[in-house]
Amino acid sequence: MDTELRHPDDPRFDAGAAARFDRRRLSRAFNASLAFVLLLVLAYSAQSTFDVEKLAVQPHSLQGLRGVLFAPLVHGSVAHIAANATALLILGTLAGSVYPRATLRALPLLWLGSGLGAWLLGEPGSVHLGASGVANGLMFLVFTLGVLRRDRASIAAGFIAILFYGGALLAVLPHEAGISWQSHLGGALGGIAAAILWRERDPRPPRKKYSWEIEEELEAQPHALDAQAFEPPAPPDTPVSWPRPQDGAPGDGGVPLFPPDRAPRKRD
């Protein structure tokens, strides 16, 4: 059963199956994000066996172009990888659970955008490494999709992303020495482009209609639904303040007539 597309008002809707479907999707997103974080940890533990700078982005250098592919896998310190791992775990789980299809297609764009931004905009002779550009791209992906789609799940995901990593909106500008704002900017542009390209890749969650929306549909298509559902009850079914006479009982149930006032009138 396609619980993702079925409306909660549909009699075939299974709330238990929908909840299990959401839990599985959240679990898959968390496990995928955790697996990538573990890959970063393994790469960092092996950095002592090779020259890290050869895998980093070196701006305006042909040799430094290979860093576009490998720079997100290497980091400069434990604090560096810890900060990026936390961001990737939270934002990766958020994006992958709400937009699994769009996120899967966006990851290559975020990855390449981060490296190309550092290679094109970085200062010659500098070295850029780390996955912060990818994490920044995920934040911009979730935020931009919330702005474009504007359904409840998208808006909630955008608010959560801003709550945890709203500072990433300013990380695309030069603000601190030793921070690659160029890779942040490249990842952000990749996230915005991916949100525009694949904003409709994931189906929108069903939205419960309000009563006035249903009435408008009835006016437009009077035979689509039961028009009598919004009609007032018929007069015989309307309660009255006095009991009606039973069959065979005297009286017709009408309003009683009172005799006129026959008191003598005095003349002046």
- Residue 241 pLDDT grade (very low, low, confident, very high; cuts 50, 70, 90): low
DSSP bridge partners of 240: none
Return the H-helix or E-strand segment holding 142: helix 132-149
- Fill in the DSSP letter of residue 254: S
Q: What is the pLDDT of residues 101-133, one digit of tens each?
A: 999 999 999 999 999 999 999 998 899 999 999
Q: What is the pTM of this model?
A: 0.72
The single-letter code of the amino acid at 257 is L
pLDDT over 80 at 53, yes or no: yes
User: By mean pLDDT, which of 98-107, 147-156, 188-197, 227-236 is the weakest?
Assistant: 227-236
pLDDT over 80 at 245, yes or no: no
Spatial contact of 57 and 183, defined as CB atoms under 8 Å apart: yes
User: By mean pLDDT, which of 65-69, 195-199, 229-233 is the weakest?
Assistant: 229-233
Distance CA 147, CA 118 (A): 27
pLDDT over 50 at 189, yes or no: yes
Q: What is the pLDDT of residues 85-102, one digit of tens each?
A: 999 999 999 999 999 999
Going by C-alpha positions, the residue among 159, 148, 237 that lies closest to residue 198 is 148
pLDDT over 50 at 266, yes or no: yes
pLDDT score for 106: 96
User: Which of the listed ranges 20-29, 58-67, 189-198, 254-263 does the model predict with the highest average pLDDT?
Assistant: 189-198
Q: Where are the domains of the chain?
A: 15-197
Counting DSSP H helices and E strands in the chain, the numbers are: 8, 0
Distance CA 82, CA 87 (A): 9
Architecture category of domain 15-197 in CATH: Up-down Bundle (1.20)
